[in-house]
Amino acid sequence: MNLPDWRSTAIFLSVLGVAALRTTGTHATVMASEVAWIVLAGLGAACLREVVTQPPRQWFRLDLAALAGAYYLTLAEFLAPQPQFAGEVTPASAAFALRLVLLGLAGLALGRHLVLPDARKAPSGWPDPGVRTWTALLWTAFLLANLHLFLSVQFNPVTLLRELAAPRFSQSWSRERLGDGRALLSEWQLLNYLIPPITAWLLTRRAPSAWHRALCALPFAFVLTISFCSGTRYLMATHAASFALALAWSLPSLSRLHAALLLFLPLALLLIVTVVALRFRHEGLGRTLTPHRTESRAIAPPKRWIVDNNVRTIAKLTETFPARHPYLGPEIPWLMLVRPIPRAFFPAKPTKPSLSMEEIIGIPQTTIAASFVGEGFLMAGAPGTFLFGLGLGMLCALWGRIPADTGSSFAIILHASGVVWTFLALRSPIWISVGLLPCVALWLTVKIAFPVALRLLPAQGGSDHGPPRL
């Protein structure tokens, strides 16, 4: 894997500095809009430098996806008019929040350079399971991940479709905030994150027939449908990005035209979902599509384009910390550590910090995120934001050491699965340990379960028959 280009990073950091100079105005909306457009220009220039100097496959790197994801979460919504923003925060808190965002982006861009590439030759021991093995793993992951959903509707497809069109969180498979032992079954849904990269690799194989490809695409189509009907835009982005990343590294050859299409299609899908999902996520797809409905809306869809409202949340945090409440310090790392532990095994597991963002914003009946920028600020102020950005950039560079360019199917799929923890961490670093669980499950299955099976079962002669030869 190639290193990111220092010159593209220098361009991006220079533009971030220019954007910081525009955070001295007296109108919050104008400041945010100017910063958003300036940073977009800098990100575009930095990516263009990468595109010109790197081969097409290197466009699909985790560090570039992280920079794009961080921009989408924080500043992208200010590309459209946001007149209400000026009435939600003061100019001072808006300026402080924008500077924190710029600081976090700078840390993310710099951190990816702090990990040097592995000087050793790419290891030859990376497994390369065959089509049959990955097909079996695909359907196993799909069934385990969605078993709780199928059980809740008693395997009735009509009931399933009806509930998919219902308002968000009203489905019978929606779990309570605090799960008990029965909720353990729903934890398997994390395996859905492995479906897009496995599907991408399978679709590029020449041996399978058309019906086999269609069969392999069904779980991916189901996962996309579930995410779309729930209005969960970030899930759609994660699935699309991991699919595109795996597809780019799986194709026998990748021209610049095909690479550009692979970049454009997920971005177009994300834009469509970002605009459309807010129109039905509260009422449900069914009610939204039903004409002449008489019932009143419980929650009206927003009249502006909103991604995650993170800058507003960060601005509110700057008004609270440290003037009214001390920084949370080790609370944030502790939450990151215990988050994956099921409550059935750890009943006293904390659900949120001692002072949550929902309490600060004043909307206790919802879930509010502030991205890695806000949670880093909660932990230790501006230095915490920079350290979180730096750490995420370094983790992306470390993950980039996975030799996807060796042709190993396991390396390709594992590398693309890194999108899961990256995107979850960008939105809320507390969830990074949860995002790593599917990757750990994949590693344990291929590196441990298969070798054990090889010792217990007689060899059957080929990588597509039985456990793969490792």
**373 contacts 101 by C-beta, under 8 angstroms:** yes
> Please, how many CA atoms are within 13 Å of residue 357, restricted to the half-sphere of its CB?
24
Alpha helices in 124-181 (DSSP H): 131-152, 157-164
What's the whole-model pTM score? 0.87
The number of angstroms, rounded, from the C-alpha of 305 to the middle of its chain's C-alpha atoms is 20
Q: Which residues of 418-440 are buried (b: 16+ CB within 10 A; e: fewer)?
A: bbbbbbbbbbbbbbbbbbbbbbe
Who contacts 380 (Cβ-Cβ below 8 Å, separation ≥6)?
Answer: 327, 329, 387
Which pLDDT score, from 0 to 100, does residue 173 have?
61
Q: Which residues of 277-308 are buried (b: 16+ CB within 10 A; e: fewer)?
A: bbebbbbbbbbbeeeeeeeeeeeeeeeebbbb
Which pLDDT score, from 0 to 100, does residue 450 have?
74
Give dist(CA 300, CA 169) in Å, integer.
Answer: 16
Who contacts 218 (Cβ-Cβ below 8 Å, separation ≥6)?
Answer: none
Give dist(CA 331, CA 351) in Å, integer.
Answer: 11
Which pLDDT score, from 0 to 100, does residue 167 have?
65
By residue count, the chain amounts to 470
Q: Pick from 95, 87, 76, 96: which is nearest to 31 by CA?
A: 95
Which pLDDT score, from 0 to 100, does residue 153 have?
82
Give dist(CA 341, CA 300) in Å, integer.
Answer: 36
Query: What does each of the 470 residues of the chain score in pLDDT, given as a tens digit?
Result: 567 889 999 999 999 999 999 999 889 999 999 999 999 999 999 999 988 888 999 889 999 999 999 999 999 999 988 888 988 899 999 999 999 999 999 999 999 999 877 655 555 678 888 888 899 999 999 999 988 888 888 888 888 877 777 666 566 666 555 455 556 677 788 999 999 999 999 999 876 678 888 898 999 999 988 887 776 777 888 999 999 999 999 998 888 888 988 888 878 877 777 777 666 555 555 555 555 444 444 445 555 678 888 999 999 999 888 988 899 999 999 999 998 887 777 778 887 788 777 777 776 656 677 899 999 999 999 999 999 999 999 999 999 889 888 888 999 999 999 999 999 999 999 999 999 999 999 999 888 877 776 676 554 444 444 444 43
Helices then strands, counting H and E runs in the chain, come out as 21, 0
- Which helix (H) or strand (E) is 354 found in, with range? none
**193 contacts 417 by C-beta, under 8 angstroms:** yes
**198 contacts 134 by C-beta, under 8 angstroms:** yes
Residue-range domain boundaries for the chain: 6-116+306-406
Give dist(CA 249, CA 203) in Å, integer.
Answer: 12
Who contacts 155 (Cβ-Cβ below 8 Å, separation ≥6)?
Answer: none
Give dist(CA 234, CA 422) in Å, integer.
Answer: 12
Give dist(CA 87, CA 29) in Å, integer.
Answer: 9
Which pLDDT score, from 0 to 100, does residue 426 have?
95
**401 contacts 118 by C-beta, under 8 angstroms:** yes
**27 contacts 92 by C-beta, under 8 angstroms:** no
> Please, how many CA atoms are within 13 Å of residue 454, restricted to the half-sphere of its CB?
15
The number of angstroms, rounded, from the C-alpha of 32 to the middle of its chain's C-alpha atoms is 24
Residue written as tokens 């994150």? 193
